[in-house]
Amino acid sequence: MDPHKFNKLLCKIKDDKRALIPIYKEFHSKIIIHIRCRYGQRVCAEDVVQEVYAALLEIKEHAFIDSPQQWLFAMADHKAADSFRAQCKETSYSDDLKAPPVCEIPTQSIAIRLALEQIDPISQKILLMHFWEGYSHEEIAKELNMSCGNVRLKASRAYKILKDLL
């Protein structure tokens, strides 16, 4: 979504809650995927996304947001971390000598990591930048000094390999 359009919608939200609909349609599934990839089953991605949109409804003033997707991903990361910390605090220990539980890496994340190892390093970087860090193909092309078409092609091929492996 164009940053100017996103910022206009964000300004409208305080007066008209329906301004949230285009933002929801554009970013909902992307945020879900981002949270599931980053946190696995440790947090409920749907709950995190709901908290992000609730926070958007409460924003009164904001600076211009240059990269809406990255900004929303960062907000979702903060909400997910808060949720994860709250889950850890809910666990009580009667014996002070017991060590707190180590947060396990979900099997899904391990499977993703192993599948990523089957892809060439440049394609790995492209997928990680796109899906995990929220970069657009254009931003990745500029960062890696490649054409946008080449980035899209490598991403598409790498995604197909991941899909076949997972």
Residue 93: its pLDDT value, please? 44
pLDDT for 150 beyond 90: yes
Residue 103: its pLDDT value, please? 37
| CB distance 72 to 10 below 8 Å | no
Mean pLDDT over the full length of the chain = 78
How far apart CA 88 and CA 100 sit, in angstroms, is 9
Mean pLDDT of all residues in 121-141: 84
Q: Say how many C-beta atoms besides its own lie within 10 A of residue 17's C-beta.
A: 11
Residue 119 lies in a domain: yes
Distance of CA 126 to the CA centre of its chain: 15
pTM of the full structure? 0.52
Number of structural domains (the chain) is: 2
How far apart CA 84 and CA 8 sit, in angstroms, is 32
Please say which residue of 63, 90, 117 terminates a domain.
90
Residue span of the structural domain in which 52 resides: 3-90
Residue 39 lies in a domain: yes
Highest mean pLDDT among 43-57, 78-92, 93-107: 43-57
3-state secondary structure of 59: coil
pLDDT tens per residue across span 11-44: 888 888 888 889 888 888 888 888 777 776 656 7
| Burial (CB count within 10 angstroms: exposed 0-12, middle 13-18, buried 19+), residue 39 | buried
Give me the CATH number covering residue 17.
1.10.1740
Residue 99: its pLDDT value, please? 39
Give me the CATH number covering residue 138.
1.10.10.10
Spatial CB neighbours of 88, under 8 Å, sequence gap ≥ 6: 100, 103
| 16 and 71 housed in the same domain | yes
Please say which residue of 30, 64, 90 terminates a domain.
90
